[in-house]
Amino acid sequence: MTDLWRLDATDIARLVHTKQVSAREVALSALGRLDAVNPRLNAVIQFMPEQALAAADAVDAGIARGEAPGLLAGVPVTIKVNTDQAGFATTNGLKIQAGAVAREDNPLVSNFRKAGAVIIGRTNTPAFSVRWFTSNDIHGPTFNPRDKGLTPGGSSGGAASATAAGIGAIGHGTDIGGSVRYPAYACGIHGLRPTLGRIPAWNPGLPERDIGPQLMAVSGPLARSIRDLRLGLAAMSAPDPRDPWWVPAPLEGPAMPRRAALCVAPDGMKVAPVIVAALRDAAQRLRAAGWEVEELGSLPPLREPARLQAQLWLSMLPRGGMAAVEQENEPTALAVYRHMQALTPPPGLVEFQDALTLRAGFLRAWNLFFERYPVVLMPVSGELPFPDQADQGGDAAFAGIMEAQLTQVGLPLLGLPGLSVATGLSGTAPLGVQLVGGRYREDLLLAAGEAIAAAGAPPAPIDPQWA
């Protein structure tokens, strides 16, 4: 069995658990795949072959002693470079953080290790992890393995590109404005933004984050199968006292009706016909699997939550954030922050307090909606994956991108889970849909996502064919 890198995490863990293959064999295969395709993608930008093999050997030794292997025993994974991992720089795509070598692991890295995962590399992110495109002045650009002319997404573009190409079975991503869901969509795989507090995370080597990001930013898995997202979520969500937002919520909630609401244009957003067709196709897949799906013309608000999300996120700019952007002087990040300032000026104290106050009302409205419709089917984006670097086309282009990403930006204010499900292709461009549910009901999203994904061709590792 030579192409172990082609297998998903669930199969790898089973084979390692049952001693049909060794974790070292899996790691060697994964590292070989990394060497073969990463030069074209630049998805992984920090390498650790010696550490990976040592971790794999530790898994094999534990199994040989009769110890119970972890959920991800021997599974090759990647970590996003904005996340502390002991011995490696948490660059966040920045020259000014090139020397920010972590002394201890972020809780999610600790949880991967405790589950027996084998970390094979660290993945690229745009400068400040701020764009839906992935390039920076320290690590360079990352490319989409399906089409070099399309964005791999951002900010977890390196994780999505690597996972889509078979560099690791599960990629770690972070999401404050779509940074797990959109890269998964752009690269034609699946990505889960979990509920706030589901997966413990914290960077001990960096300053405490502002309250806005604390309320909105989460870590989550990207994978080529829905069952791998379920497995990754279980491993990543183990408790860690270092994250005060972590909640000991069960991974399986009470039974709910298999009922979903379909909304093709939430809050009147502009949605391309090919995306509408993909949404209705996904609805039919759900119906064929026994779900009741009702198409609605409207949902609880997302447009105003998106505006407030930007306010809370950008509140750090006048308090040193913009000075750091100017110090880094990375042109694309500078342009994006200036666009965002123009669209959403940083709030004063009153506006900041109002945003936090209004958050409760919007979340209440969505909670009540989920009582009737436990799952909502909506666009990941209003458009097919953007041409790479499209956000550098001026004010009008940036405003158009922001409108297309309404469902990416509105959700984090509420702390709700969202699942990006790959459904097919339009030419070389991936198609997908987004599922949204109530707090800590990732189980419902994964069940619906599994039904949708099962009716299509499962994503397979992609060999980049472009010159």
> Structural domains in the chain?
4-454 (3.90.1300.10)
Cα angle for residues 109, 112, 118 (degrees, 5° grid)? 105
Nearest-angstrom CA–CA distance, 449 and 427: 23
Mean pLDDT in the chain? 97
Residue 135 structure tokens: 């390039």
Backbone angles phi, psi at 257, to 5 degrees: -60, 145
- Closest C-alpha to 178, from 210, 235, 239, 220: 220
CA triple 275-281-285, angle to 5 deg: 145
**Nearest C-alpha neighbor of 58 from the set 109, 12, 10, 113:** 113
Q: Is pLDDT at 275 greater than 90 in this prediction?
A: yes
* Element at 119 (helix H, strand E): strand 118-123
Q: What residues are labeled active site?
A: 80, 155, 179
SS3 at position 408 = helix
Beta bridge partners of 119: 77
Percent of the chain with pLDDT over 70: 99
Structure token pair of residue 415? 């702390």
pLDDT grade for 347, boundaries at 50, 70 and 90: confident
CA distance 275 to 268: 14
Q: How confident is the model at residue 465 (pLDDT cuts 50, 70, 90)?
A: confident
What's the CA gap between 72 and 80, in Å, rounded?
18
Residue 1 has pLDDT above 60, yes or no: no
The tokens of 8 are what?
């998903």
Q: Do residues 433 and 380 lie in contact, with contact meaning Cβ atoms separated by under 8 Å?
A: yes
* The residue to which tokens 């999610």 are assigned: 108
First-to-final CA distance of the chain: 30
Helix (H, G, I), strand (E, B) or coil at 417: coil
Q: What pLDDT is attached to residue 345? A: 85
Q: What is the pLDDT of residues 32-52, one digit of tens each?
A: 999 999 999 999 999 999 999
Average pLDDT over residues 264-280: 98
Indicate if the pLDDT at residue 467 is higher than 70.
no
Using an 8 Å Cβ cutoff, are 260 and 209 in contact?
no
- Residues 312 and 408: their CA atoms lie apart, in Å, by 15
Segment 346-371 shows an average pLDDT of: 95
- Asked if residue 183 has pLDDT above 80, the reply is yes
CA dist 152 and 162 (Å) reads 10
43 touches 124 (CB < 8 A): yes
Examine the pLDDT at 466 and tell me if it is beyond 80.
Answer: no
Q: In the block, which residue shows the tokens 């890198």?
A: 5
pLDDT tens across 368-415, in order?
999 999 999 999 999 999 999 999 999 999 999 999 999 999 999 999
Whether residue 2 has pLDDT greater than 80: no
Between β-strands 118-123 and 44-47, what pairing exists: parallel, antiparallel or unpaired?
antiparallel
- Residues, the chain: 467
Distance, CA of 40 to CA of 466 (rounded, Å): 9
Q: What is the mean predicted confidence (pLDDT) over 128-153?
A: 98
Residues facing residue 322 across a β-bridge: none
d(CA 292, CA 451): 13
CB 421 within 8 A of CB 279: no
Coil vs helix vs strand at 418:
strand
Q: How far apart are CA 203 and CA 144, in angstroms?
A: 28
The yes-or-no verdict on residue 242 having pLDDT over 60 is: yes
CA distances from 143 to 40, 57, 463 (A): 8, 32, 12
CA 408 to chain centre: 11
Q: In which band, very low, low, confident or very high, does the pLDDT at 267 lie, cut at 50, 70 and 90?
A: very high
Token couple for 328: 């880094």
Query: In this structure, are residues 157 and 383 in contact, taking their beta carbons and an 8 Å threshold?
Result: no
Of 134, 152, 193, 220, give the one whose Cα is nearest residue 413: 193
**pTM given for the model:** 0.98
Residue pLDDT, tens place only, 155-170: 999 999 999 999 999 9
